[in-house]
A and B are shown apart, each in its own frame.
Chain A
Amino acid sequence: MKIGLFIPCYVDVVYPQVGVATYKLLKHLGLDVTYPLNQTCCGQPMANAGFEKQAIPLAEKFEDKFKEFDYVVAPSVSCTAFVKLNYSRLLEGKHECLTSSKIMDVVEFLHDVIKVNHPLGTFPHKVSLHNSCHGVRELGLSSPSEEHVTPFNKIKDLLNLVEGIQVLEPERPDECCGFGGMFAIEETAVSAQMGLDKVQRHMKTGARFITGPDCSCLMHMAGVAKKQGLNVEFKHVVEILAAGL
């Protein structure tokens, strides 16, 4: 099984430690993982802003870089969802598209493909789980609170393999944090309000850390929290899974 590691642009620049944790964790599990050089972006920011055609050259590059792998794994639910749900439509008639069926977010990969079931790292803290929207409603990482289905949460399942951890969920467990890409700079007031409301709900659980499967949500909430002087820390799920390994 050859795994291609996709590290999204903002993870590359702002949260490289998440990329490092992802790489180290996959290696620790004995997997054959490669990081192809000269990655850039999946194209989601432009597409969500209304310029999806600009994602096409990026999709073509992505395809060429990753098509040889069996799985493409990324520590980002939003980027994964974008590739999975849009690339074949965007590339239709222009370029073959194999990666949309190979891409997986690292959480769903570890849960569904590797089926990790043994203890992982150590993280003896209370954490509040942030169920990112793309994870819930596009990748099926957890049961959406809107639906009447048997409840499940793949992120929680994995986090519970970490020693000492206590995983909590806030009220309104899958309400959006308010990042939304360009939404954050276009609807600044609503975005900040949503971010603040979400951080406060997370903090109300008593957790010291807020964790989730997407750095864009964490980046947004962290920025709002710091601005408001709120004392809470943020870690990507994969950083916790790899803690102490």
Chain B
Amino acid sequence: MSTGHSKAAKEFLKNQTYAKWHDATFWAVRSKRDNMAYGLDEWEQLREKASQIKRHTITHLDEYLDQFATNAEKNGCIVHWAKDANEFNEIVYGILKNHNVKKIVKSKSMLTEECGMNPYLEEHGIEVVETDLGERIIQLKGQAPSHIVMPAIHLNHDDVGELFEEKLGSEKGNHDPTYLTYVARLSLRNEFLTADAGMTGGNFGIAETGDIVVCTNEGNADMSTSCPKLHIAAIGLEKIIPNYDCLAVFQRMLCRAGTGQPTTTFTSHFRKARPTAHPMHIVLVDNGRSEWIGNPEHWEALKCIRCGSCMNTCPVYRRSGGYSYSYFIPGPIGINLGMLRDPQKHSGNVSACTLCNSCQTVCPAKVNLGDQIYLWRQQLDEFGTANPEKKLICKGLGTVYGSSGIYNLGTALAHWANIIPSPLMNCGLNPWAEGHKMMEFPKKPFHKLIKEIEK
């Protein structure tokens, strides 16, 4: 009874040294988040407000989107609307082509990953340079991100050292992270200075003012937009929030929840292009969001602010890593978004969860992640992806539990399992025996013992 995830997780855990480091590293981030949360008496109040703000906003999003676009246009920005990933890529390419862009530098955007923008632009002859250090590392390595905030976490400093030796000409054998960061700085500095355009994502879009707000620690979004003469901002519909009072709530929680810092180094508001640059372009992207809002069990996934704290707290993510999941976003939010994106393709992730609910207890916007995973499981049969063995087992359980007669007979015989020879009990057909020594079945079940006690 295995899935893509369970097989990949098994492989992941074979390297016990790395697996323990991965688990400890993300638990440390969770702990830092805890310290932030315990340090603000208003933390739970903020979570509740954030949840309510999001519920209001995403159920009135058409109004806020209209307000945002109107204000952005009043500011002199050019606003585009992309109904899906393909349209997004075409729009971006069109803008770049019109400005004769050969090279674009970009800051981190899960949305551009979602739309497959980089390969599209590269196919069309445009060089794309990721400038978030983690994203740049995996770009040079030709890999996908394994976490939405720490995309290169699966690589250690030797992996990065060897990569930089090969791709950036760094000093052979010098794998000190400070040195490697400096090598990347110099390399990226050159890219910022010679790029024709810069692209950012958007952590938030402010309806009342038309601002695109981008939060980074590295300053790469600001470098990407301060030197090249063209700035394109890509933002998913659901990232629009009403006003600055709302922004304060989210800005205070985003980094505390995601990395355990009180703030990102830079919280930048882009209202219009700088005077020496071309007008700023903003691309609003739907790509399924206008459908998901209508899903009665899963619309609250749109509240997500992409902080990553659900992954950090997930005991399964920590012990299986981002690459074990079939969707490009891993962990609890990834399981849910993957199912919204393509339920047939991503059903395997849905069982990568013990329903411990730590994720929804940590989520700054109170997305009901664990509850939603439970609900997705109920739909697998309808999607045609329910595991047949599981289905059979549950049918069997249903029969046994459905009849007291069968149940009582079964439980009377259970203790005979104690004498089944070990090689037979621990064979491949008994997955419980893989990780456990079989339990002893007492001679008498409780329902027999109670009769003796009551006498």
A and B touching (Cβ–Cβ under 8 A):
yes
The B1-51 residues at the A interface (CB cut-off 8 A) are 1-3, 5-6, 9-10, 13, 19, 23, 27, 34, 37-38, 40-41, 43-44
Q: Is the CB of B414 within 8 A of A13?
A: yes
Residues of B within 8 A of A116 (CB): none
Q: Is the CB of B442 within 8 A of A20?
A: no
Residues of B within 8 A of A144 (CB): 358, 361
Interface readout for A43-55 with B: 1 if CB under 8 Å, 0 if not?
1011111111110
Contact A51-B394, Cβ < 8 Å, known A16-B449, A38-B404, A176-B354: yes
CA distance A176 to B9 in the complex (A): 17
CA distance A152 to B355 in the complex (A): 22
Interface readout for B405-418 with A: 1 if CB under 8 Å, 0 if not?
00110010010000
Contact A48-B355, Cβ < 8 Å, known A137-B361, A146-B362, A226-B437: yes
Interface readout for B437-448 with A: 1 if CB under 8 Å, 0 if not?
111111011110
Q: Is the CB of B449 within 8 A of A20?
A: yes
Interface residue A118 (Cβ < 8 Å from any Cβ of B)? no
**Partner pick for A13 among B377, B435, B441, CB 8 A cutoff:** B441
**Partner pick for A46 among B351, B355, B394, B440, CB 8 A cutoff:** B394
CA distance A26 to B201 in the complex (A): 60
Band of interface residues on A: 35 or more
Contact A222-B6, Cβ < 8 Å, known A19-B449, A185-B431: no
> In whole Å, how far is A229's beta carbon from the nearest beta carbon of chain B?
9
Q: Is the CB of A51 within 8 A of B381?
A: yes
Interface readout for A11-22 with B: 1 if CB under 8 Å, 0 if not?
111101101100
Q: Is the CB of A193 within 8 A of B19?
A: yes
CA distance A52 to B390 in the complex (A): 13
The A134-178 residues at the B interface (CB cut-off 8 A) are 137-138, 144-149, 172, 174-176, 178
Residues of A within 8 A of B434 (CB): 188, 192
Contact A186-B390, Cβ < 8 Å, known A148-B38, A176-B315, A227-B436: yes
Interface residue A57 (Cβ < 8 Å from any Cβ of B)? yes
Q: Is the CB of A58 within 8 A of B354?
A: no
Q: Is the CB of A20 within 8 A of B319?
A: no
| Interface residue stretch chosen among B61-69, B71-79, B94-102, B395-403 | B395-403
Contact A20-B453, Cβ < 8 Å, known A11-B446, A148-B40: yes
> In whole Å, how far is A187's beta carbon from the nearest beta carbon of chain B?
5
CA distance A192 to B411 in the complex (A): 26
CA distance A145 to B31 in the complex (A): 10
Contact A48-B377, Cβ < 8 Å, known A14-B441, A40-B404, A190-B320: yes
Q: Is the CB of A223 within 8 A of B315?
A: no
Contact A189-B6, Cβ < 8 Å, known A9-B401, A51-B381: yes
Contact A41-B357, Cβ < 8 Å, known A11-B446, A226-B437: no
A37 nearest in chain B by CB position: B447
Q: Is the CB of B27 within 8 A of A172?
A: yes
CA distance A105 to B290 in the complex (A): 42
> In whole Å, how far is A136's beta carbon from the nearest beta carbon of chain B?
9
Contact A137-B446, Cβ < 8 Å, known A23-B453, A189-B10, A219-B439: no
Interface-central residue, B351, B352, B386, by most chain A CB under 10 Å = B351
Contact A186-B6, Cβ < 8 Å, known A13-B414, A35-B450: yes
Residues of A within 8 A of B398 (CB): 46, 51, 54, 57-58
> In whole Å, how far is A225's beta carbon from the nearest beta carbon of chain B?
8
Interface readout for B370-397 with A: 1 if CB under 8 Å, 0 if not?
0000100111110000110011011101
Residues of A within 8 A of B437 (CB): 223, 226-227
Interface residue B91 (Cβ < 8 Å from any Cβ of A)? no
Interface residue A220 (Cβ < 8 Å from any Cβ of B)? yes
B11 nearest in chain A by CB position: A189
The A31-85 residues at the B interface (CB cut-off 8 A) are 35, 37-41, 43, 45-54, 57-58
**Partner pick for B402 among A40, A223, A226, CB 8 A cutoff:** A40
A61 nearest in chain B by CB position: B402
CA distance A223 to B434 in the complex (A): 10
CA distance A12 to B19 in the complex (A): 37
CA distance A54 to B401 in the complex (A): 10
CA distance A13 to B418 in the complex (A): 12
Residues of A within 8 A of B355 (CB): 48, 133, 180-181, 183
**Partner pick for A145 among B13, B34, B438, CB 8 A cutoff:** B34
The A192-208 residues at the B interface (CB cut-off 8 A) are 192-195, 197
CA distance A184 to B16 in the complex (A): 19
A58 nearest in chain B by CB position: B401
A187 nearest in chain B by CB position: B6
CA distance A144 to B37 in the complex (A): 12
Interface residue A182 (Cβ < 8 Å from any Cβ of B)? yes
Residues of A within 8 A of B439 (CB): 14, 219, 222-223
**Partner pick for A182 among B40, B351, B374, B404, CB 8 A cutoff:** B351
**Partner pick for A16 among B9, B377, B379, B444, CB 8 A cutoff:** B444
A226 nearest in chain B by CB position: B437
> In whole Å, how far is A115's beta carbon from the nearest beta carbon of chain B?
26
**Partner pick for B319 among A138, A193, A223, CB 8 A cutoff:** A193
Residues of A within 8 A of B10 (CB): 188-189
Residues of A within 8 A of B304 (CB): none
B400 nearest in chain A by CB position: A40
Interface residue A224 (Cβ < 8 Å from any Cβ of B)? yes
Interface residue B432 (Cβ < 8 Å from any Cβ of A)? yes
Residues of A within 8 A of B431 (CB): 185-186, 188
Interface residue A211 (Cβ < 8 Å from any Cβ of B)? no
Residues of A within 8 A of B386 (CB): 50-51
Interface residue B111 (Cβ < 8 Å from any Cβ of A)? no
Residues of B within 8 A of A17 (CB): 442
B44 nearest in chain A by CB position: A148
Residues of A within 8 A of B1 (CB): 182, 185-186
CA distance A45 to B44 in the complex (A): 32
Given contacts A148-B44, A189-B9, 10 further A-B contacts (CB under 8 A): A35-B447, A50-B380, A54-B394, A57-B398, A58-B401, A133-B355, A182-B390, A188-B431, A194-B315, A194-B319
6 closest Cβ pairs, A-B complex: A223-B436, A192-B435, A180-B354, A50-B377, A19-B446, A176-B356
9 A-B pairs in the complex with CB atoms less than 8 angstroms apart: A20-B449, A38-B447, A40-B400, A45-B394, A51-B381, A146-B313, A172-B27, A185-B1, A186-B1
